[in-house]
Amino acid sequence: MPAASDDSAGSAESEPAYQPGVSLPHTFRPLGARIATGTAAIAVVGAVTFLWLMLPSEVQDDFSVIQRVTLLVFFAAILVLLNAIFRTSARASEAGLVVVNGYRRRDLEWSQIVRISLTPNRPWALMDLDDGTTLSVMAIQTSDGARAKQAARQLAGIIARHTTTDRDE
């Protein structure tokens, strides 16, 4: 079954689904989320470092080992969560599609994907799979606007190209 892509303008059919400039392998990533998480990580590291260095040495010495470990674990947890968002991607290759949402990875063969849709009432693209389930593709986020629409169309075209049968059903 050929794949289709829905978007807020409903213009998936008015523009060519497959854009010849997309060569495989191709990786889709969210732009806004990567900028926000990268900036947040730098800000958190800078703020924590600055605040620690601004504390007088007597105050630093008052922190017990348990308190220091607790602060470091909390700090690391924030960075791990930011990294989960930052590493989100969808990598299309001749073999299939690898979707990474946070720390969860899903390897899909092209035949497993029915279609992809991107609508304004959803934060990211959604793929319908042949087993009746859906899979969020956080790599294509509505907040990226026209860039996300283009990415959804490109991925829909790649899916269509790899799932077309001889009879083009």
Q: What pTM was estimated for this model as a whole?
A: 0.78
Q: Please tell me the distance from the alpha carbon of residue 149 to that of residue 107, in angstroms, as a whole number.
A: 23
Q: Is the pLDDT of residue 1 over 50?
A: no
End-to-end CA distance of the chain: 5
Q: Is the pLDDT of residue 146 over 80?
A: yes
The four Cα atoms 16, 18, 21, 25 give a dihedral, to 10 degrees, of 160
pLDDT per position as a tens digit, 38-89: 999 999 999 999 999 999 999 999 999 999 999 999 999 999 999 999 999 9
Q: Residue 165: pLDDT band by 50, 70, 90 thresholds?
A: low
pLDDT per position as a tens digit, 153-162: 999 999 988 8
Q: Read off the pLDDT of each residue in 113-136 and give the average, rounded to a whole number.
A: 94
Q: Tell me the three state secondary structure of residue 132.
A: coil
How big, in percent rounded to 5, are the helix, strand and coil portions of the chain? 45, 20, 35
Q: Is the pLDDT of residue 103 over 90?
A: yes
Q: What is the mean pLDDT of the chain?
A: 87
